[in-house]
Structure 1
Amino acid sequence: MEPVYRGLGRCQCCFWLAVAFDILGLVVLLIGVFVNVFFYDLLIYAGAIVIFLSLVWWVFWYSGNIEVPPAELEDDVGLLKKDKGGLSGISGALRRFSSRVSSGIRNSFRRNGGPSGRPTCARAQRSATGASVTPQAEQVAVSMATVSPQENFPHAAVSSVAACTIQMPRTSTEISPT
């Protein structure tokens, strides 16, 4: 048998923390308004911030006390009734079809490298025996050089890493005298 909660509900600690934050914030705010100190603005802002932070505890208390009957939770958490009549066959088939499609898409991303943000090379390296070998992750050294404003070479730097050619245009920064 589940315990019966009265008055404040299940999350009593969140309720009391919210009340404490409200009281503390109000006290600090009122001290900043009515007491003649040179840092009154700090107290006013701090009190308002503490009152604002009490909203977090109020939301926790409120959401912790929401009661949802198990009949409404059935479909949301996957608890399906067995005696739903003619729709159980159709809905079960649709659920299985949806699961297969989504797992197929997910697995195709895993096989193809996925949308990971890293550039992938379309070509594989050939080993000495002629077998195709996919490139392994390796460390790439990048050198940077400063370019003076007098150099105006419109050429591109070319780097070849693991059978991938990456071209990067040279850029320079103009500095105006101040």
Structure 2
Amino acid sequence: MEAGPRGLGRCAVCFWLAVAFDSLGLVVLLLGVFVNVFFYDLLIYAGAIVIFLSLIWWVFWYSGNIEVPPAELEDDVGLLKKGGGGLRGIGGAVRRLSSRVSGSIRNSFRRNGGPASAREGPSQGSRSEASGAGQQQQVVVSMATITPQGDTSRTGAGGDTAART
């Protein structure tokens, strides 16, 4: 068995990229602070952004070096444990039972054409709605544009009100 990674770990490239981004960002930021140029604010912001982007490489380096023993990984990725007995046998039996039950439910829906509420006929539809089962129905909504119309008794031919004439 391997003793484990030494030094920088398995992701040395990400480590060196993070260090390079940090150094470049720090140099650009310090140039913006201490050098008398008219675009110093651009240098300060650019340096801060480059340092912020180095966090991506630090996260890659750290997460790439996380080690999880295979015994802990078995439960998460569904690997079957070798050797039976004790709780392992019970866990396997429960897993098989769960697979059978869910498979039979899934197959019964396929065989019968869907849930019971979708297969009801027109005579049973009103009964299911009254019992609250809720059958899907299509609702048609018509929309029309309504323009506001003025009171015709108050307007004249030229659009003037009757009070002015």
Aligned to 2:13: 13
- Deviation of 1:8 after TM superposition, in Å, equals 0.7
Q: Which has the higher strand share?
A: 1
Residue 144 (structure 2) aligns with: 170
Q: Aligned partners of 1:50 and 1:172: how far apart in 2? A: 57
Higher helix share: 2
Match of 2:40 in 1: 40
1:24 aligned residue: 24
Give deviations 1:109-162, integer Å, cap 9, x for gaps. 9x76xxxxxxxxx9xxxxxxxxxxxxxxxxxxxxxxxxxxxxxxxxxxxxxxxx
1:1-178 equivalence runs, <5 A = 5-100=5-100, 166-170=140-144
3-state SS in 2 of match to 1:90: helix
RMSD of equivalent CA atoms: 3.3
Structure 2: runs of 5+ lacking an equivalent: 120-137, 149-165
Structure 2 CA distance for aligned equivalents of residues 102 and 4 of structure 1: 42
Kept in 2, the 8 Å contact 1:82–1:88? The answer is: no
Residue type of the alignment partner of 1:85? G
* Corresponding residue for residue 156 of structure 2: none
Alpha-carbon distance in 2 for matches of 1:97, 1:32: 67
Amino acid at match of 1:59: V
How many angstroms apart in 2 are the aligned matches of 1:10 and 1:28? 30
Q: Measure how far apart 1:19 and its partner are.
A: 0.3
Is the contact between residue 31 and residue 43 of structure 1 (CA under 8 Å) also seen in structure 2? yes
Aligned amino acid, residue 53 of structure 1: L
Measured after TM superposition, the shift of residue 101 of structure 1 is 5.7
Cα distance in 1 between the residues matched to 2:26 and 2:139: 64
Amino acid at match of 1:65: N
Q: Which amino acid aligns with 2:41?
A: D
Greater CA radius of gyration, 1 or 2? Answer: 2
**Which residue of 1 is the match for residue 135 of structure 2?**
none
Report the 3-state secondary structure (helix = DSSP H, G, I; strand = E; otherwise coil) of the residue aligned with 2:22: helix
Contact persistence 1:22–1:50 (CA under 8 A): yes
Name the TM-score, length of structure 1 as normaliser.
Answer: 0.56
**Identity fraction in percent:** 74
